[in-house]
């Protein structure tokens, strides 16, 4: 029995849902309301002391960190394989996941202003201080304080946009050159790791960059990803409300 504690818009949650869908695995989904800070509640911290999402519970044991969860699923349910066969390419896959994870701050600058900022900016100073105390991560505390009292500027968004293009799309364009996938000759967890980021870039951040004119290999890769049955099954819908 698998239980996934997740949020629909969460990039890490989207990765794990996509991995589960690619594996054809059934699970019980528990939605965590980020705007209500349910991931910092005592009940949630009891299964994930870091207060992050998602958390996968399998046979009563919790796991967090999306890259770790995806590798665990591939080891536990090896068909179809989502990791390269060779140790070197598996190491390359992990480096890609680490590299993409390192860009999350640039994504937060865009993501949090749409939903979490609208909630946090309404809190009084006392409410804000009380809620921030419950956040285990100092980095996340600072992010909540920013969106609540000092929203990111257009200059900061432009800088983050440039980093996402240069450090993700440009690097992907080169990596996709040999075979159309980030690592080796087949779709892998490295590609899954990039999906939520490219989704947001294509939807709002820099849609003109995910095109045949600017990044043709990324554009083809993105079309291939969206055509996979698992993409629809994982419900990686619009981040922005219609």
Q: Please, how many CA atoms are within 13 Å of residue 63, restricted to the half-sphere of its CB?
A: 19
Instruction: Give the H/E segment covering residue 58.
Output: strand 55-58
Domains and CATH numbers, the chain: 2-76 (3.40.30.10), 87-113+152-228 (1.20.1050.10)
Tell me if 219 sits within 8 A of 123, measured CB to CB. Answer: no
Please report, in tens digits, the pLDDT of each residue of the chain (242 residues total): 899 999 999 999 999 999 999 999 999 999 999 888 899 999 999 999 999 999 999 999 999 999 999 999 999 999 999 999 999 999 999 999 999 999 999 999 998 888 788 888 888 999 889 888 888 888 888 888 888 888 899 999 999 999 999 999 999 999 999 999 999 999 999 999 999 999 999 999 999 999 999 999 999 999 999 999 999 999 999 988 74
Number of C-alpha atoms within 13 angstroms, CB side, residue 149?
A: 13
Is residue 196 within a helix (H) or strand (E), and if so which, with residue range? Answer: helix 189-200
What are the residues whose beta carbons fall under 8 Å from the beta carbon of 95, sequence distance 6 or more? none
* Close Cβ partners of 159 (under 8 Å, ≥ 6 residues apart): none
pLDDT at 225: 98
DSSP string, 4-51: EEE-SS-HHHHHHHHHHHHHT---EEEE--TTTTGGGSHHHHTT-TT-
What confidence score (pLDDT) does residue 113 get?
83
- Quickly count: other Cβ atoms within 10 Å of residue 80's Cβ: 11
Q: What was the pLDDT predicted at 122? A: 86
């Amino acid at each position: 029995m698998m239980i996934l504690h997740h949020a629909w818009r969460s990039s890490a949650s989207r990765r794990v849902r996509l991995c589960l869908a690619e594996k054809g695995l059934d699970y019980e989904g528990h939605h965590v309301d980020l705007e209500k800070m349910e991931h910092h509640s005592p009940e949630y911290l009891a299964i994930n002391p870091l207060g992050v999402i998602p958390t996968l519970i399998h046979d009563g044991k919790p796991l967090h960190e999306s890259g770790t969860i995806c590798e665990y699923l591939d080891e536990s349910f090896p068909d179809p394989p989502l990791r390269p066969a060779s140790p070197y390419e598996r190491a390359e896959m992990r480096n890609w996941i680490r590299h993409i994870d390192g860009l999350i701050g640039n994504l937060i600058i865009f993501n949090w202003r749409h939903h979490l900022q609208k909630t946090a900016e309404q809190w009084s100073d006392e409410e804000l201080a009380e809620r921030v105390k419950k956040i285990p991560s100092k980095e996340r505390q600072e992010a909540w304080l920013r969106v609540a009292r000092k929203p990111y500027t257009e200059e900061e968004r432009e800088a983050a946009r440039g980093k996402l293009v240069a450090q993700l799309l440009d690097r992907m364009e080169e990596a996709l050159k040999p075979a159309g996938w980030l690592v080796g000759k087949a779709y892998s967890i490295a590609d899954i790791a990039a999906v939520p980021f490219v989704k947001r870039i294509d939807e709002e951040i820099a849609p003109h960059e995910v095109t045949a004119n600017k990044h043709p290999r990324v554009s083809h890769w993105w079309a291939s990803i969206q055509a996979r049955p698992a993409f629809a099954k994982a419900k990686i819908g619009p981040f922005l409300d219609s």
